[in-house]
Each structure stands twice: as C-alpha cells, then as structure tokens.
A and B are shown apart, each in its own frame.
Chain A
C-alpha cells in the first residue's frame, strides 16, 4: 500500500479565511480523492483529482468552495475557502491501488472553524 502524508494534521481557523491542505504520496498514482468526515456522519467524497485535468466534484461540492490542484502524480492540495463553522471536519485524501480496486487513506487533517 502507498504511504500517504497530509499537512497540516490539524488547524484552528477563523470564519471567512481559507486553508490549503496538502497530500503527498510516496509513489506515483493516477487518481487521488478528497473526502470529508464530519462527526457522526459517513465519509463523503468531495472530489476526484487526476493529474493534468480539472477535478471532478460530487453533488453538493463546488470548485469555488473546494478548489483542488493536482500538479503531479504524487501531490495534491485541497483548499477550503471562505470557511464557516459548518466546515469543521476531518479532511482525508486517498489514493487508489495500482490494481485499481482498493483505496488507501492518509491520516487526515482535523479542521476547526471558529
């Protein structure tokens, strides 16, 4: 399985600001995914990021709120823009295995918005 790291591991932010979360993988991967895990709720896919193309967003998530970059095959960023307390959550990146059937997750970024 791939080794995935995320930065920052946690942050406390003020309403109206933005935070960029970084995800680094130790091997080249085609697809990277960004999920949100809110308290008491299931993990929800925000978007899928392929290198060299625009990210694909799931219903309920928009690029203006969650812009994503994917500059190469080992790195991606997710920005949470114009934050409100409702954005307080754990944000996780994941990658697909080389066989394409399994997904592995990073440690997550715990975001609190005041």
Chain B
C-alpha cells in the first residue's frame, strides 16, 4: 500500500523557518518526481515545488522562490521542504505527492 506521511508543520512567527518532511512507502521512491502542493484555508490547490527522481532538477513557484528549498533523500525514502522567511500568506496545509496519490498533509500556520 502506498503511503505518504507529512510532518513538521506547526505555528511559526513571520520571518521564521520550518522544515517539512514526507516519509514515503509502498513504491520505488527514487523513480518518481515529487511535489509539494499547498492549500490555504478555504482556498484552492497551489503548486509549490517539484524535484526530479535523482534530485537533478528542482522547480519552484514564483511565490516561494528564494525562500523555500526542496530536497530528497532516496536512501531514506523521504522528501523535504525547507521553508525560510515565512510569511502570513504561507499559512496552508502542505501536501507531498507524486500526483497519483496524496498524503493527508501537514498544517503550517504563520502568525504573530
């Protein structure tokens, strides 16, 4: 059974940092590009960042470029998102996904 388990969310002040993790099981992680997608409260889905299977290519939405860094450890079947200089508008549930299956997400709240 394919499982994606996000963790690392929480409450952080504006300007702060968080590191999200996504532990994957049930498929050959290294063969798949992975993506972070977020959803602000009551809003639609927003693509955040993607990474190729061997970490050779990374892509970012303009809204997070220069602040967020996506990475992966294929030996640990884990995807990461380092989020720096957080803003109130980054408040959202963050999902990790290869698009055909999704985790339950982790909530990030940026507030003073």
Whether chains A and B associate is no
List B residues at the A interface (Cβ < 8 Å): none
Interface residues of A (CB under 8 A from B): none
